[in-house]
Chain A
């Protein structure tokens, strides 16, 4: 139950801010909060991708800045990190063979971004790098740091390209919309093959190109349904599963003979 928490935090923050402002008469500092209606999402086996909506609010927005549209929000849904091997095929005697490979540690399995405007219009490339924000700014840690920078560069690019091609890394420009001066709605894409596990939703607030604040929430994505139970059994009780597969095959063969016998 994180909504009440967020609410409580918001109240505390604004009270604090009010106390500070009453004393010093400085402009209120903006903040950002996001709330998820649920902290776990179950997807069925036939899941063919969906949009996940995340609501959030700005705290103490400057009405003038808001009216001029100079607040920008970037929302990221980041999948659980896992090590990944990237392999490259090369021709050996005319045949395409997986030859070179590079292992990366802790690569987010998915990375969906929603923004108010195109990334390059929001802020400088350097601040993206500092925040490690955006699929092209994610730092991929190579397992073997001894490899040449050119090779690492090449495989990092290939990794990003493959992830985008399969929809796991996506960017939804215009996916964040302000519903009012404070309230915004972000729509991030869940790919059909979205990984299960703990995902992290993060929201970044920018004001006239400057990073102001970040807030995050966690989301558990689970698979459910008949097919998922089979998957679980196959992994947790693999011996029994194998015996079942064999018995099913023998039974089908025997029934086939019984039903269709012609001698």
Chain B
């Protein structure tokens, strides 16, 4: 069944989009990530213009983050103060991101930049995760208990000034890296259409040493607001949010997430991480191939005077 997307201005199959949303929802439920990093490239593979895929991806991320945050709020695994500081940074970062986005779109380099960012970030994160999880799998196989870094260990980040206490996270740390991290994620959110969970989660765990159980809820909490802000700014400056497309993805996504969460409970942590790493790498490789393969049309047309 075809449906016409009013902003993307193309006809697409309604079931393909629902299935896409459900599949990504399943994976995001399974791995505890927002799924934006999968949705946006999938939409691009499905011939949705990258600018619209990004803005709509940000809109879709809100839905999955809201349903995630509600369950974390109930469990009390959410640090509002930490989330708030991350958010303050996030707003600054995504404002900057939107300007860069509009600027690159005028230059005609937006599509390339989005693909490059995806390849570099997904490649790095996927690669690191794969190495870490394979090591963990080896360690468990040889019988040794997996060694996790203790929260008491300190690195250079903990020597920065302007310290602030975050009770729920049992953390006493400078606000500079927290604001910086928020800004970085906000920037990526507006340019890549992702919530940034796949970067935020490891960064909170490894850099700021936030307890793992608080990380996902807090990261989802700030992602709601960052991606809501991103959605709003994209809607007003670029008019690239396709509400019909977003709704189809969300509808599939919220249903898929529940089954994914159930499936995830049957797998061990390091197995999950290894699978997620493979998935992330697969998306990165697929996008990288597109950058290097000779495109069917070397010439492209675009209207003058966007914005």
Contact = CB atoms under 8 A, between A and B. Distances in A.
A87 interface: yes
Contacts of B302: 84-85, 87
B292 A94 contact: yes
Contacts, number: 176
Which of A46, A98, A255, A262 has the largest count of B CB atoms less than 10 A from its CB?
A: A98
Nearest to A239: B236
A8 to B, nearest CB: 40
Interface residues of A, number: 55
A245 B246 contact: yes
Contact of A82 (B243, B292, B303): B303
A152 to B, nearest CB: 14
B108 A101 contact: yes
Given A83-B303, A161-B299, A231 B63 contact: no
B247 interface: yes
A239 B247 contact: no
A249 B66 contact: yes
Contacts of A162: 297, 299-301
A257 B29 CA distance: 12
B11 interface: yes
B304 A242 contact: no
Q: For chain B, give the interface size range.
A: 35 or more
A103 to B, nearest CB: 6
B60 interface: yes
A238 B4 contact: no
Nearest to A162: B301
B77 to A, nearest CB: 12
A165 to B, nearest CB: 8
Interface in B228-283: 228, 231-236, 239, 241, 243-244, 246-247, 250-251, 253-255, 257-258, 261-262
Nearest to B300: A87
Contacts of B54: none
Nearest to A95: B291
A98 B108 contact: yes
B299 A260 contact: no
Secondary structure dominating the interface of B: helix
B300 to A, nearest CB: 5
A163 interface: yes
A226 to B, nearest CB: 8
B128 to A, nearest CB: 23
A52 interface: no
B109 A230 contact: no
Nearest to B240: A234
B71 interface: yes
A227 B305 CA distance: 24
B150 interface: no
A254 B67 contact: yes
B94 interface: no
A58 interface: no
Contacts of A243: 232
Contacts of A83: 303-305
Contacts of A253: 62-67, 70, 250, 254
B298 interface: yes
Given A83-B305, A96-B295, 6 more contacts: A85-B108, A101-B108, A159-B299, A248-B246, A249-B246, A253-B67
Interface of A: 45-46, 48, 82-90, 94-98, 101, 103, 155, 158-159, 161-163, 165, 193, 227-228, 230-231, 234-235, 238-239, 241-246, 248-250, 252-257, 259-263
Interface of B: 2, 4-7, 9, 11, 59-60, 62-67, 70-71, 74-75, 108-109, 112, 116, 224, 228, 231-236, 239, 241, 243-244, 246-247, 250-251, 253-255, 257-258, 261-262, 291-292, 294-295, 297-305
A-B pairs with lowest CB-CB distance, top 7:
A256-B254, A253-B66, A242-B235, A249-B62, A158-B299, A227-B6, A253-B63
